[in-house]
């Protein structure tokens, strides 16, 4: 199983309603993705200073499923039209997890 984790720090001018639009789009995206075992995302709850603002965690069956996920047209649209204009910083990692 591949676990993909992406974290974002938003630009200072990003509003809560801007983030809500990203959440709505990701919620809809979930239903059209194949090869997912689990898909979660959300805002940092603010328990520790310096944390990232938002994270997406996608558990996918295998590398081909990961490749389909990252190349999915709607996923790419969400990134380019919603996330990229809001993004200050991004960090990501893919982990190989035992079944």
Q: Using one digit for the tens of pLDDT, what is the confidence trace for 63-78?
A: 999 999 999 999 999 9
pLDDT at 91 over 90: yes
Q: What is the average pLDDT value for the chain, to the nearest integer?
A: 96
What's the CATH number of domain 2-96, 3.20.20.70, 3.40.50.10800, 3.30.70.100, 3.40.50.410?
Answer: 3.30.70.100
0.85 surpassed by pTM: yes
Q: For residue 97, count other CB atoms closer than 10 A to its CB.
A: 9
Residue with token string 């200073």: 49
Nearest Cα residue to 4 out of 50, 72, 85? 72
């Amino acid at each position: 199983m591949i676990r993909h984790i992406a974290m974002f720090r938003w630009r200072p001018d990003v509003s809560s309603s801007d983030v809500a639009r990203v959440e709505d789009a990701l919620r809809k995206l979930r239903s059209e993705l194949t090869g997912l075992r689990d898909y979660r995302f959300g805002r940092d709850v603010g328990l520790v200073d310096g944390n990232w603002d938002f994270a997406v965690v996608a558990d996918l069956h295998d590398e081909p499923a990961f490749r389909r996920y990252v190349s999915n047209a709607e996923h790419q649209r969400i990134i380019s039209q919603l996330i990229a204009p809001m993004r200050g910083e991004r960090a990501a990692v893919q982990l190989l997890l035992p079944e």
